[in-house]
Amino acid sequence: MLKKILKLDEDLAKDGPRSSKVHSVAALFDTPDEIIHAAAETSNAGYDKYDVYTPYPVHGMDAAMRMKETVIGKFAFLAGFTGVSLAVAMIGYMSGFDYKNIIGGKPFFNLPASIPIMFELTVLISGLFCVFGMLLLWNKLPQISNPLHDTNFMKYTSSTRFGVAIEASDAQFDVDKVKSFLAGVGGKDIEVVYYPEENIVPQTPIFNRQFIYTLILVAIVTALGTYGAIGKLVNILPFDWMHNQFKVNPQNTSTLFKDGRSMQRPVDGTVARGYMPYEYTGMPDSLVKLLSNPVPMDEKSITRGKKQYNTYCSPCHGYFGAGDSRLNGQFPNPPTLHSKKVREWADGNIYNVMTNGQNTMPSYAKQISRDDRWAIVNYIRVLQRAENAKDTDLP
């Protein structure tokens, strides 16, 4: 068996037969200074279909070769711009035309909430385009071989020496002239590189029958392995702790309680820690007599109340409390907050309406915290004072 493996390695290491078609003329150099000089002279001579091969990066090579700025950056920018444009178009269509949904008075196209999606799609599209662009456009895949492979030139330039190879596709290429030129700039071990016979008739490895069969086999083995690991192995002790937990799920039955329910109501009369129950729950505002506003009327509370009011109240009551709903008739317009009745209400009456709800207005006790509801009351007082100002309010 070992002899067969060694023989296989020897067969793979052998260079295949070469054709009579010239690929390039290559020359070796001994020092970085020599390869820098050779690259500069090659550029000055007008050759543009050539490349330099070094075992490690050589500083100043880009300038010597007069390399142009790569287009990969521009390609990535266009791909990223395409990604962000697709994200804006997708979000704009979905939220602005296809499925309009008012959330807390925010606009249909909410830019801050859309930024993460726009960023992710920008990165995704630019990454995919750059990867496939590099593979297909610049690296010329599925071409996986180069005539320089398996040559003495490549063996040395990948280890200890430096080299220049001028390709036959160059407009000025002439074998004798190129050999003379490379010798004149200090080139050594100059050789003519020919195409392998297998490269004369292009072959696409990805359409090879053995490759396709191998790919199918790998896919089947991967699918079966994944199914066995995820579907079976995780359910075997001791790997099933995430599935069999000592807990009850919502809406499921339970054998622990007599009523068979997993979700139990709090014990009557108990109060959660840090929570003060509202004593006027379910009562009309006319019964609220001894409820005072604990939040002081200052700039901080008014600013906070304005933010909460614009988010939760303005879709129906309007930004200034005039009852001019922003819902464009999609919901019954509420009465104005500047009526004599509401202006003469105590703060507790307004707070009670927000907490219990009234008529078609639902309770906002779960959406808005206790202090924020009192801050909204303060802001409503500011709107009422501004709308119903008196002459005595002027300085």
Measured CA distances, 193 to 25, 52, 121 (Å): 6, 15, 46
Query: Is there a contact between 374 and 382 (Cβ–Cβ < 8 Å)?
Result: no
Confidence of residue 173 (pLDDT cuts 50, 70, 90): very high
Q: What is the DSSP letter of 393?
A: G
At 75, list the tokens.
Answer: 């390609």
Whose tokens are 């004798």? That residue is: 176
Mean pLDDT of 124-132: 91
Sequence spans of domains, the chain: 15-200, 285-389
Confidence of residue 12 (pLDDT cuts 50, 70, 90): very low
Mean pLDDT of 66-71: 84
Q: What does the pLDDT read at residue 84?
A: 94
- Share the mean pLDDT of the chain: 85
> Does the structure show a pLDDT above 90 at 70?
no
At 45, list the tokens.
Answer: 């001579």
> Does the structure show a pLDDT above 50 at 244?
yes
- Do the strands 50-53 and 162-167 form a parallel or antiparallel pair, or are they unpaired? antiparallel
| Best-predicted range by mean pLDDT (47-56, 189-198, 335-344) | 47-56
Q: What does the pLDDT read at residue 186?
A: 93
Confidence of residue 300 (pLDDT cuts 50, 70, 90): very high
Position 82, amino acid: T
285-389 folds as Cytochrome Bc1 Complex; Chain D, domain 2 (1.10.760)
CA dihedral for 48, 54, 56, 60, sign (positive or negative): negative
Q: What does the pLDDT read at residue 290?
A: 80
> Does the structure show a pLDDT above 80 at 77?
yes
Taking the whole predicted model, whether its pTM rises above 0.85 is answered as no
- Residue-wise pLDDT tens digits, 247-260: 777 888 888 888 88
Measured CA distances, 26 to 42, 50, 147, 196, 258 (Å): 12, 10, 11, 16, 89
Confidence of residue 262 (pLDDT cuts 50, 70, 90): confident
Query: Is there a contact between 54 and 61 (Cβ–Cβ < 8 Å)?
Result: yes
- Residue-wise pLDDT tens digits, 15-41: 668 888 899 999 999 999 999 999 999
> Does the structure show a pLDDT above 80 at 52?
yes
Q: What does the pLDDT read at residue 199?
A: 58
Determine the Cα angle at 51 with ends 50 and 57, to 5°: 160
Q: What does the pLDDT read at residue 8?
A: 44
